């Protein structure tokens, strides 16, 4: 839903105060009332465009949406009325009757199987007493005091940062046959490290839960991010090395005298690259010997000059 989307965006934009949405039935039973809570003002028109696009592209439904209550000092949120353009009431009531008929049947799944299939769920009654929870929650949370509401209320440290280490998100479902609330949830984690720090494993997340895919994608993203950071560090080092090399080249051009030959002229050097104390004498002997030998070489009947 929209809240889950903003919850995901909060991981990309830390510190973002995400808005919240909830729906209630209209007074006359036609349409829905969307309650929009946000600290930022002037975004109600964007909400209308988003809801219409979601209804059209995901549900294939054309809707009319209008603001019925603006945000003011007395009301801290904006209310929208959502109505379907071409609603088929007969199909709606047929689906409602079919739903009520199925709801009267006895459950074909035992509590043990339900706790195993949904390891992250909590059922509590009107007194906020937890009557049932999933296998994963039962293993992670301390068993002593789990069903004791007074103990949870008395200990102030449970309202601190320690309780936030296991963040659950999901939906509340009312169970009329038991007069209880079912909190069907999933752990809010991004990678495997988040799971292990909370005492959970990837196998604790059921196959039908999209959180498993989200954790794997988060792990892949984290590894790719590490490789990107290492590549950036190596690139910075390479740029520093290239700049240092350019500086050394400039120093060499400034200090050394460079001699270049032109045409068919050649040059000999003595004392390089190994220093020699008799370099002047050696180069002079070489020049005299080359002149003597060159006079003995004949080219077209004449000695080489």
CATH topology (fold) of 110-142+164-258: Beta-Lactamase (3.30.450)
Condensed to tens digits (0 to 9), the pLDDT of residues 57-102 reads 888 888 998 888 887 766 668 889 998 887 555 555 555 556 555 5
Domain map (residue ranges) of the chain: 1-85, 110-142+164-258, 261-305
d(CA 165, CA 71): 34
Return all residues near 208 (Cβ < 8 A) that are at least 6 apart: none
d(CA 140, CA 144): 12
| Superfamily (CATH H level) for 1-85 | H-NOX domain (3.90.1520.10)
E-assigned strand segments in the chain: 20-25, 32-37, 63-69, 78-84, 121-124, 130-133, 168-175, 180-187, 298-299, 302-303
Task: Decide: residue 137, CB within 10 A, 0-12 exposed, 13-18 middle, 19+ buried.
Answer: buried
The answer to whether residue 292 scores a pLDDT higher than 50 is yes
How does the average pLDDT of the chain come out, rounded? 78
Under 8 Å between Cβ of 48 and 65: yes
Under 8 Å between Cβ of 11 and 190: yes
Question: Higher-confidence residue: 88 or 157?
Answer: 88
Asked, colleague to colleague, whether 1-85 and 110-142+164-258 share their fold, the answer is no
Residue 163 pLDDT: 43
Report if pTM > 0.85. no
Please name the residue ranges forming H helices in 13-110. Answer: 44-57, 89-104
């Amino acid at each position: 839903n929209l809240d889950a989307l903003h919850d995901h965006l909060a991981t990309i934009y830390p510190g973002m105060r995400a808005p919240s949405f909830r729906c209630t039935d209209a007074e006359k039973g036609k349409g829905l009332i969307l309650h929009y809570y946000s600290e930022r003002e002037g975004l109600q028109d964007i909400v209308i465009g988003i809801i219409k696009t979601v209804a059209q592209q995901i549900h294939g439904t054309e809707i009319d949406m209008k603001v019925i209550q603006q945000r003011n000092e007395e009301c801290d949120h904006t209310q929208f009325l959502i109505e379907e353009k071409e609603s088929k009431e007969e199909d709606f009531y047929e689906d409602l009757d079919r739903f009520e008929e199925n709801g009267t049947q006895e459950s074909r799944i035992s509590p043990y199987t339900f706790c195993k299939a949904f390891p992250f769920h909590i059922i509590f009654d009107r007194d906020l007493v937890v009557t049932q929870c999933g296998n994963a929650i039962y293993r992670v949370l301390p068993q002593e005091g789990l069903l004791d509401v007074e103990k949870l209320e008395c200990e102030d440290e449970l309202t601190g940062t320690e309780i936030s280490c296991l963040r659950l998100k999901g939906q509340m479902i009312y169970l009329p046959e038991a007069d209880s609330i079912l909190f069907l949830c999933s752990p809010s984690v991004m990678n495997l490290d988040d799971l292990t720090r909370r005492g959970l494993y990837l196998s604790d997340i059921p196959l039908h839960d999209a959180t498993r895919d989200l954790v794997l994608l988060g792990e892949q993203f984290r590894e790719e991010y590490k490789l990107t950071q290492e590549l950036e560090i190596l690139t910075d080092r390479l740029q520093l090395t290239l700049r240092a090399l350019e500086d050394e080249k400039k120093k060499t051009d400034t200090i050394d005298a460079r001699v270049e030959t032109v045409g068919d002229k050649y040059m000999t050097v003595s004392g390089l690259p190994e220093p020699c104390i008799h370099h002047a004498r050696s180069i002079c002997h070489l020049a005299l010997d080359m002149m003597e030998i060159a006079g003995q070489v004949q080219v077209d009947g004449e000695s080489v000059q």
